[in-house]
Structure 1
Amino acid sequence: MKKNFASRFRNWDAYAKTLDDFTIKTSAGALLTLLSGFIIFCLVVSQFNEYLQVTFKSELSVDKSRGDSLPINLDITFPHITCDLLSIDSVQETGEHRIDLESSIFKTKLDENGNEMKSELTELGNTSSKIDEELKKAQPNTDENYCGNCYGGEPKEGTKCCNTCAEVKEAYERKGWLFEDYSNIEQCVKEGVADKVMKLEGEGCRVHGSLKVQKVPGLLSLTIGDSFFFGNLMLHTLYTGKHNVYSHKINKLSFGQEIAGQDNTLHGYEVEFEKGHRKVQYFLNVVATDVRYLNGTTKLNWAKLHKLLFTHNKKSRLA
C-alpha cells in the first residue's frame, strides 16, 4: 500500500532526473555553473550591503525658534590692524543695535611676524576705543581765556568752545559727523593725540571667542574705530592711515553647536589687500539642520548643525 502511494506521488514530478548512465558532464556546463554561482553570490552580497546602508532622508520644516539666540563662534586674524582700534558691532533686523559688544570676545595683540605679543587676553567689550582713553589722559589747555574752535561741531549746551580734543570729538558726534583726522585739529595736535594714534600702527590683532545674536537677519561688523548713535542711525568713526588695511584670515567661523568633522568652507579663508582703504562684505546664509545619529556611538543622539553658504565682494572705500 505504501509503495503504491509513493509511486503515485512521484508521478507528479515535472523534473524527472536522468539516470547517471545517460548524463554527460562538459567543460561548458562546469563554466556555466561557476558563473551562475558567482552571479548569485554577488547579488546576495549587494542586497545585504544595501540592507545595511543608512538612508538619508531630507525634510524641510519651518524653524519656530526665532526667539532663541544663536551662538557665533569666530577666530579671525588681522595682521595689519592694532587691537586698540578694532571694534565689533551688531545691527539686527528687529532694530536692536549693539555697539562694542560685551561678550566672550577677546583680542590678542600680534607683532609684525604674527606672533602673540601678550599672554593675557583683552576683552573686546569696552576696550576698542583706545583713542578715547588717550583723549581722557590728554592735558587740556590751561589758559582761562582760551576758547577752542569746534570746527563746525555742536558744543555743549551753555558754551561755544571746545577746549580739548575730546570735546571736539563729542561736538562732532552731536552733529552726526564722523571724527577722522586728528592731525588737523588744533586741540588734538597740542595734546599729542595724533602722535599717539600713529604709534599704534605696525601691530596685528587676533579676534576670537563667541557671542549670541537673535535668529534674524542682521549685520556684524569688525571695523577700525568706534560707533555712536545719531537719532535712530548708527554711525561709525573710521580712523585713516596705513593701518586701514583689512587683510585678514578666517581661522574659524561657525554658527551654533560645533560638531567634530563638520565641513565649513570659510575655515582658513584668507583675503589679502595692498595698502589702501578697502572693505570686504560677506553675505552669509545660515541654514539650521537637525542631524540624528543611528549608531548610538556618540554622546549625543542628535545635534543641530548650521550649514553656511556665503558669497563676498571687495570694495574700495574713500578716505
Structure 2
Amino acid sequence: MGMKQVIKSLDAFPRAEDHLLQKTQSGALVSVIGLIIMATLFVHELGYYLTTYTVHQMSVDLKRGETLPIHINMTFPSLPCDVLSVDAIDMSGKHEVDLDTNIWKLRLNMDGHIIGTEYISDLVEKEHTHHKHDDHKDHDEHSEQKIHLQNLDESTENIIKKVKEAIKNGEGCRVYGVLDVQRVAGNFHISVHGLNIYVAQMIFDGAKNVNVSHVIHDLSFGPKYPGLQNPLDDTNRILHDTSGTFKYYIKVVPTEYRYISKEVLPTNQFSVSEYYSPINQYDRTWPAVYFLYDLSPITVTIKEERRSFLHFITRLCAVLGGTFAVTGFVLNYLLYCSSSIDHCIHPHGWPIFFRPKSELLF
C-alpha cells in the first residue's frame, strides 16, 4: 500500500454518494432550526466566557499603622445643625469632640430642603472654647449650674434663642463627610454632647426632649466594590413622643478587591447588630446615636477571574457538535419515516428512533 493510500485511509470525512446529497424542504427546515439553536448557544457560551466571577480567599490581616476611613451621610430631621456634633473615641485613649475635619452639615427645613450649609457649629465651637469638659461625666451640681448660667455672654444667649427658634420651625440637619480614625476598636457618635450641659438644658429643657430620629443614607468603611451591600444604607429610625439612645455594634472586616486588570482596591465590609435604649426620667445621660466598631483579624481577598479560552473552545465544540449531531439524527428520522410510516412504528406501537446504519440515508 502506497503512502497516498495510507493517507487516504486516515480521511475522517469521506465523500458521500450523490443520492445522499439531495436537498429537501424538510432538510432545509431542520438545518435552519439547527443554525438558530447553534447561534443561540454560541452567544450564550460567549457571554459565559466573557463574564467574570469572583473567588474569595482569607488570610491574617497584616496591616499596621494605617487609618480607617468612615464615610457617613445621615439626616437628623428633628435636630438643627447648631447643636449636633460628631465625637470619636478609640481604645488608644484618643478622644475627639465635635470633629470638623472633612465633616459638613446641611441645614434642612421641615420639608427636608436645604436652607444653608455649615462647616462647624458656631455654638458648639464657642462652648468648647469657654468650657473644656468630658461629655460623659455628670454635671448636675445646682451651684455649679448657676455659675455657668451667669457666665453666659450675650452672643451665646442670642445663639440659644436662634436654636430654639430653629427647633420650633422643625429645622433638621444632614451630616456627611469622612472620618479618618486609627485602626483600633472604638466608636463615634452623633449627638448634642458637644454642648455645655447647662446650655443643652436651657435649649431642650431635659434630655427627654432631644429627638435623635435619624436616617442613614450611607455608612461605609472605605470605597465600594462591585456587589458590595452595606447593611446600614437607607436605614430609617424615627421616634415619636419619646427619646433614647441608638447603638450600632459593627464588626469591620478588612477586604481587598482585585479586579481582572490586576488593580487592587483596599476597603472594608462589615456586619452590624442594633440596640435601642429608651430614656427615662432618672437617666443622666443624653440621647445619642452610637456606632461602636471593632476590626476582624482576618482579611478577605476577592479576586475577579475569567474562564480560560481553552475552556471556552471545549464547551463551544461540544455544544455546536452536539447540536449538529442531533439535527442530523432528526433529519434522518424524518426522511426515513417519509418513505413509509410502517418503517417508523415498532410492532408494539412506539416509534423506532434507531435503525441499522445500512438503513440510514447518511
TM range (shorter): 0.5 to 0.7
CA positional deviation for 1:220: 0.8
Matched residue pairs, number? 266
The amino acid that maps onto 2:257 is: V
Corresponding residue SS for 2:98: coil
Q: When the two structures are superposed, what TM-score results if normalisation uses the length of structure 2?
A: 0.56
Corresponding residue SS for 2:49: helix
Indicate how the Cα distance of structure 1 residues 179 and 207 shifts in structure 2: closer, same or farther if over 3 A, else same.
farther
The amino acid that maps onto 2:68 is: L
The answer to whether residue 77 in structure 2 is matched with residue 107 in structure 1 is: no
CA positional deviation for 1:87: 2.1
Corresponding residue SS for 1:212: strand
- Matching residue of 2:124: 128
Indicate how the Cα distance of structure 1 residues 75 and 42 shifts in structure 2: closer, same or farther if over 3 A, else same.
closer
Aligned residue among 241, 254, 257 for 1:275: 241
Corresponding residue SS for 1:253: strand
Corresponding residue SS for 1:123: coil
- Matching residue of 1:86: 84
The answer to whether the 8 A contact 1:242-1:276 is kept is yes
Query: What pairs with 1:81-230 in structure 2 (closer than 5 Å)?
Result: 81-119=79-117, 121-123=118-120, 128=124, 131=127, 176-179=137-140, 185-187=145-147, 197=160, 200-201=163-164, 202=167, 203-226=171-194
Indicate how the Cα distance of structure 1 residues 31 and 74 shifts in structure 2: closer, same or farther if over 3 A, else same.
same
CA positional deviation for 1:185: 4.4
CA positional deviation for 1:293: 2.8
- Matching residue of 1:306: 268
Gaps of 5+ in 2: 282-362
- Cα distance in 1 for partners of 2:10, 2:146 equals 118
Query: What pairs with 1:42-53 in structure 2 (closer than 5 Å)?
Result: 43-53=41-51
CA RMSD of aligned residues (A): 4.5
The structure with the greater share of residues assigned to helix is 2
- Matching residue of 1:153: none
- Matching residue of 2:311: none
Cα deviation, 1:202-257, whole Å, max 9, x if unaligned, reads 042222221201222211111212389xxxxxx9x974256500011223322223
Deviates more, 1:8-17 or 1:255-264: 8-17
Corresponding residue SS for 2:82: helix
- Cα distance in 2 for partners of 1:63, 1:30 equals 64
Indicate how the Cα distance of structure 1 residues 59 and 199 shifts in structure 2: closer, same or farther if over 3 A, else same.
same
Aligned residue among 266, 280, 300 for 1:318: 280
The answer to whether the 8 A contact 1:85-1:129 is kept is no
- Matching residue of 1:64: 62
CA positional deviation for 1:42: 5.1
- Matching residue of 1:292: 258
- Cα distance in 2 for partners of 1:13, 1:254 equals 65
Corresponding residue SS for 2:191: strand
Gaps of 5+ in 1: 137-165, 229-234
The amino acid that maps onto 1:123 is: I
The answer to whether the 8 A contact 2:89-2:187 is kept is yes
Q: When the two structures are superposed, what TM-score results if normalisation uses the length of structure 1?
A: 0.62
Deviates more, 1:21-30 or 1:201-210: 21-30
- Matching residue of 1:158: none
CA positional deviation for 1:54: 1.8
Indicate how the Cα distance of structure 1 residues 83 and 35 shifts in structure 2: closer, same or farther if over 3 A, else same.
closer
- Cα distance in 1 for partners of 2:32, 2:265 equals 49
Indicate how the Cα distance of structure 1 residues 104 and 49 shifts in structure 2: closer, same or farther if over 3 A, else same.
closer
- Cα distance in 2 for partners of 1:112, 1:48 equals 54
The answer to whether the 8 A contact 1:280-1:313 is kept is yes
The answer to whether the 8 A contact 2:71-2:219 is kept is yes
